[in-house]
Structure 1
Amino acid sequence: MRLLLLINAAAQPTDEGEAVPDSTVGVVRTQVRLQKLDFWVRYPDYLAFELMNEYEKAPEETGLLQLAGDILDSEEPDLRRFPMLRYKFGAFEELDDALAPLVERGLIRKTQILGQKRVVEHIYFLLERGRQVAESLAQEAPVLRWYATRTRLVVALVDGLGGTQLKKRQYLLRDYADTPWGQHIGPITARARARLHELRAATAVPAGGTGQEAS
C-alpha cells in the first residue's frame, strides 16, 4: 500500500498520443525515480536533512525548517524507518514482488523498454481503480494517512526532478554514499538533529530583539 500511495502521489499525466493501458490516469517513469522517492519515505531522518538543505537555500521558507523539526522532534526516524540496501545506483529494493499484488488487483500496470542488452526504462501506470483505492485508503484507514501525507510531501519536494537527479542528490551525503554495496543504509538521526539545533539557534531572536526572526 505504501507503493500504491507513492505512485498515486508521483503519477504525472501521460504524453499525448502515448499508448497506455485502458483506464490509465497517470504514469511514473523509471524505476530509479520510484526507488529514490521511496527512500525518502522510508528514511525520515534523510528527508529531514533534505528539507534543511532546501531551507538553507531559501531561509524565508520557514515552513521547511518546521517540517524538518516535526520529523526530528518525534520518534519517526526510528518508528518509520524501513531500511533499504545500497547497490550500484544507491538505495535499492526489488520492486516486482511488492508491486505484484497491485498488478493482480488491477490497480497499476507496469511495462519496460528494452535495449539491446538490458532494460533501459521501467514504466508504472496508475489505473483509475488504483487512484480510487489510494484515495479511499487515505480517508478510511488512519494508519495509512501518514503515508499518504508523507508521499505527497516527498513528491512536492523534488517536483520535476528525474531519477538520476534524485540519485545524485542522495549521494551528496557521505553516510549514504559510503555504505558498502549490499548493506543496509544506516540512519543519520543524530547528525540531522544536531544540524536542526544549529539552524534553530541561528534563527533565534536575540535577547532584547523585536520578536521577528533574525535575518
Structure 2
Amino acid sequence: MDQALPNPEAAERVTSREQDATRLLLLLDGACEPVSDAEHATPGLVTAVGVVRTQVRLQKLDFWLRNPDYLADELLTKYEASNEARLLELAGLILDSEEPEVRRYPMLRHHFGAYEPLDDALAVLRSAGLVARRRRGTVSRVRQHDYFLLAAGQRVVREVLQQAPAFQYYVDRVRLVLDLADGRGGSQLKKQQYLHREYAEAARGDRIGSVSVRARARLEMLRGQAGDTGAKDHG
C-alpha cells in the first residue's frame, strides 16, 4: 500500500456529502442512457428512467465536471483536431473566468486514475429513493456497478432547477462533458485523461494537480494562431 505523505494540494477544496449527492444526481440525469425491458422487470427498477453503466465511466465524467481546467484543456485538444471555432470559444469562457479556481474540486489519484469515494453521496440518494445501484458479476467478483436514475430522482432534479436556477451550471457542464466523451466508455476516457502529465504523475493518494496555468497559456497560443490565420485569409 502506498504510504507516501499526501501532497499539500490534498488540503485544497473538498466537497460535502450533500454537494456530491446533488452533483451526482444532476450528472446521472444528464448522462443516463435508456433502461432495458429486462432491467425494468428487476425488483426496485420498475420506475428507473435511465442508467449510467460502470463506476469507471461515472468517475471519469465526474472528473471533468469537478475540474473545469481539465475540461477546458480537453476542449482545446478537440479544437486542434477539428478547428471548430466554437470549441476555442467555450474553452475561453472557462479559462478567462475564475471557474477553474472557484469550481474546481480535485480528485484523488487511485490505482486506476482519478477517483473519489461515492458511497456516502450515493447512500443519500439511494435512501431517498432517487437512485438505485446494481452490481453485475458473482458474489465473489463484482464486474461492474450500474447506476439507475429513478423517476423520483428525475422529479427532484426538475424541482431543484426550478427552485435554485444556479444549479443550471451543472446541467450545462454535463452536456459539455458528454459532448467531449463522445460515447466513449470509462476505460477510454481514463486513457484520455492519463495523457495529462499532472494526472499521470500524481502519486497514489494525492490529489491530482491543476492544469489551469498550462491551459491558459495554450489558449493564448491557439488564439494567436487563429488570429494569424484569419489575417492571412483576409490579406
**For residues 172 and 146 of structure 1, do their structure 2 counterparts lie closer, same or farther at Cα, with a shift above 3 Å needed?**
same
TM-score (norm 2): 0.84
Alpha-carbon spacing, 1:206–1:167, altered in 2? closer, same or farther (3 Å): closer
Distance 1:79 1:13 in 2: 34
Q: Does 1:6 align with 2:6?
A: no
Pair 1:207–1:29, CA change in 2 (3 A): closer
Count of residues in correspondence between the two structures: 211
Instruction: Give 2:121's aligned residue.
Output: 98
TM-score calculated relative to the size of structure 1:
0.92
Which residue of the partner structure matches residue 111 of structure 1? 134
Q: Which residue of 1 aligns with 2:96?
A: 73
Aligned-partner residue type, residue 10 of structure 1: A
In structure 2, stretches of 5+ residues that fail to align are 1-21
What pairs up with 1:160-175 in 2 under 5 angstroms? 160-175=183-198
| Partner Cα separation in structure 1 for residue 195 and residue 108 of structure 2 | 17
Q: Which is helix-richer, 1 or 2?
A: 2
Aligned pair 1:44/2:68, yes or no? yes
- Distance in 2 (CA, whole Å) between partners of 1:52 and 1:16 is 40
The CA RMSD measured in Å over matched residues stands at 1.8
Task: Report the Cα distance in structure 2 between the residues aligned to 1:210 and 1:202, rounded to whole angstroms.
Answer: 12
Q: In structure 1, which of residues 128, 134, 138 is the aligned counterpart of residue 151 of structure 2?
A: 128
SS class of match (2:64): helix
Q: Which whole-Å CA distance do the structure 2 matches of 1:207 and 1:40 have between them?
A: 31
Match 1:17 to one of 38, 44, 55:
38
After superposition, what is the alpha-carbon deviation per residue over 1:156-214, rounded to whole angstroms, capped at 9, x for unaligned? 22131110000000001111000000000010110000000000000005796666xx9
- 1:178 — aligned with what? 201
Deviation, 1:153, is: 1.4
In structure 2, do the counterparts of structure 1 residues 208 and 104 end up closer, same or farther at CA, with 3 Å as the change threshold? closer
Bigger Cα displacement from structure 2, 17-26 vs 30-39? 17-26
**How much has 1:115 moved relative to structure 2?**
3.9
What are the superposed Cα offsets for residues 109-133 of structure 1, whole Å, 9 maximum, x if unpaired? 1111134643210010111111121
The gaps in structure 1 that reach 5 residues or longer are none
Q: State whether residues 113 and 121 of structure 1, in contact with CA within 8 Å, keep that contact through their aligned partners in structure 2.
A: yes
Q: Is the 8 A contact 1:138 1:148 kept in 2?
A: no
Aligned equivalents of 2:82, 2:163: Cα separation in 1: 36
Task: Indicate the SS of the match to 1:191.
Answer: helix
Percent identical among aligned pairs is: 52
Post-superposition CA distance 1:67-97 (Å, at most 9, x none):
1000000000100011110001101011111
